[in-house]
Amino acid sequence: MSYPPFSRRDLMKAMAALGVFSLAPGLFAAPSGKKKLGVALVGLGSYSRGQLAPALQLTQHCYLAGIVTGSPEKIPVWQQQYRIPDKNVYNYDNMHQMADNPDIDVVYIVLPTGLHKKYSIIGAEAGKHVWCEKPMAMNAGECEEMIAACKKNKVKLTIGYRMQHEPNTQRVIQMATEKPYGKIQLITAEAGYRSGGSHGWRADPKLGGGAMYDMGVYPLNAARYTAGEEPIAVTARQESVRPMYKDVDETMEFRLQFPSGCIAECATSYARGMNRLHAQCEKGWYELQPFQSYNGVQGRTSDGTLLNTPIENQQARQMDNDALAIINNSPVLVPGEEGLRDIRIVDAIFKAAKEGKEIRL
């Protein structure tokens, strides 16, 4: 099944329609009389616990209404901390029953990548809008199934690329079109960290383990929005040194070629810390460092301009923007088609690494 391509130009139009290039207060106002949307977090791991649940205490247009977990011992802790009623608590076997619960408008899938498709579709079939963490799914076919399920059930599907809601990143996206320093020639995008002994699902290939799925979509998506165009070819090399990552990629280096001639040199790893996005142009350069941290994203340009617009909470901004797209029935900033585009390239990256040759896209 195929869907109309969602280009970088479409993204720019959606961002402009949402007003996300401006930080002026009030631009994100919902129509009067519209209620806050109830969000159920599906999966109560570290990201839900440390980032999303706290951020939902700061949002204006949505709130933490329910939870879905396979760990019964977590339930009383979450209920006490966030006052979640019994009727809004689900497990993975009865999650479909939230179809009869008007308190929940959105399910946010915060599970390992290998489980995204299954529970996104369950949420969609329950009539709930779906927010799914990145990467969207294990392969392009799974992404297409998720898009189809949401379309069939007339719910919105949004992928959790929080950086595209972040103001300094949005400025970089603008510069892809404006080209203030001339033609973009070389992009360097790197994201990684030195992992410890606890690896869990990140070492399990069936659940989407490995650096490319876990962290690699940061440099991949960044290369695409910084170039403002889609790659036409990819080469890649993967490496796994430590025994815990023998079944997945501990490090992935990949090179994207774009129609304009721009090249993106990208890397992701569990073996070394990296957090940098740099664009070298004909007449100068600009960069963000760090470019994908939960806070403190900042950068500069070759002529001394600082890219340091502050933001209180990235996840709160992301979820409020996504909630408003539902409330106003307007385009979401990062739809399923955007996640699908990345995963098509991820598929090609793994193929290029395995076959040791360039793969045309």
Task: Dump pLDDT digits (tens) for 332-360.
Answer: 999 999 999 999 999 999 999 999 999 99
Q: Closest Cα partner for 232 from 199, 255, 266, 206?
A: 255
- Per the prediction, the chain carries an average pLDDT of 92
Percent of the chain with pLDDT over 70: 90
Distance, in Å, from the CA atom of 209 to the CA atom of 138, rounded to the nearest integer, reads 10
pLDDT digits (tens, 9 = 90+) for 232-257: 999 999 999 988 899 999 999 999 99
Q: What is the pLDDT of residue 234?
A: 98
Q: What is the pLDDT of residue 33?
A: 56
Under the banding of pLDDT at 50, 70 and 90, the label for residue 27 is very low
Comparing 23-37, 164-178, 224-238, the range with the smallest average pLDDT is: 23-37
Q: Check pLDDT > 70 for residue 9.
A: no
Under the banding of pLDDT at 50, 70 and 90, the label for residue 13 is very low
Assess contact for 88 and 79: CB atoms under 8 A: no
Percent of the chain with pLDDT over 90: 87
Amino acid at 327: I
Comparing 12-21, 154-163, 279-288, the range with the smallest average pLDDT is: 12-21
pTM of the model: 0.90
Q: What is the pLDDT of residue 122?
A: 98
What is the mean pLDDT of the segment spanning 312-337?
A: 98
pLDDT digits (tens, 9 = 90+) for 65-113: 999 999 999 999 999 999 999 999 999 999 999 999 999 999 999 999 9
Q: What is the pLDDT of residue 6?
A: 39
